[in-house]
Amino acid sequence: MIRIGKAFNELKVGDKFSESVTVTEAHVVKAAGLFNDYNVLHTNEPEMQKSRFGKRITHGALTFSLMVGVYSKVFYDTDISTVEASIKFTAPIYINDTIRMEWEVKELEAKPKLNGGLVVLSGQVTNQDGKIAATTEAKLLVSNTTVFER
């Protein structure tokens, strides 16, 4: 099978990968159903107009899921497992904001017995104005070959 994703042995500290997306009403509606989170923060515009945010904000879990989606594409068939992941929110993301999600390889730890190694990533989410909305960290176990090979 031909490998599509980046392999552990192809990475170096400092490598970056990113993606941008405009978070739409459809994202938020689907997230509310998927996460079973119908909090007024996300679903009630009149109430949110009276809040400190002034309008509805996106789910934190949606932001994190979009962020994970970026590295999931990069390590499409080489990601054995996400070992750890975290996010810290620093500013709201509103519906129709365009966010840029970027990850950087911070550490690499070879695991020869596993034919790959641990990849430590650091990331951030910025809005269209360049304001940092979230910072993230993740640790992945990544193979040197496609995980579909035996």
> What is the domain-level CATH number for residue 105?
3.10.129.10
* Distance from C-alpha of 111 to C-alpha of 108, rounded to nearest angstrom: 10
Contact 14, 105 (CB under 8 A): yes
Report CA-CA distances (Å) from 139 to 2, 52, 121, 128, 132. 25, 34, 6, 27, 21
Query: Does residue 149 form part of some domain?
Result: no
Q: Token digits for 78?
A: 């080489």
**pLDDT tens, residue by residue, 54-75:** 999 999 999 999 999 999 999 9
Query: Does residue 150 form part of some domain?
Result: no
Identify the pLDDT of residue 50. Answer: 95
Query: Does residue 1 form part of some domain?
Result: no
* Overall number of domains in the chain: 1
* Distance from C-alpha of 82 to C-alpha of 80, rounded to nearest angstrom: 7
Residue 63: domain span: 8-143
* Distance from C-alpha of 71 to C-alpha of 97, rounded to nearest angstrom: 21
Query: Does residue 103 form part of some domain?
Result: yes
User: Sheet of 16-22: strands edge to edge?
Assistant: 16-22, 98-111, 116-126, 132-143, 79-89
pLDDT in single tens digits along all 150 residues of the chain:
777 899 999 999 999 999 999 999 999 999 999 999 999 999 999 999 999 999 999 999 999 999 999 999 999 999 999 999 999 999 999 999 999 999 999 999 999 999 999 999 999 999 999 999 999 999 999 999 887 765
Indicate left, alpha or beta for 78 from its phi (over 0: left) and psi (-120 to 50: alpha). alpha
Query: Quick one: CA dihedral 27, 97, 92, 119, positive or negative?
Result: positive
Three-state secondary structure call for residue 146: coil
**pLDDT tens, residue by residue, 80-95:** 999 999 999 999 999 9
Query: Does residue 3 form part of some domain?
Result: no
Query: Does residue 72 form part of some domain?
Result: yes
Query: Does residue 105 form part of some domain?
Result: yes
Identify the pLDDT of residue 105. Answer: 98
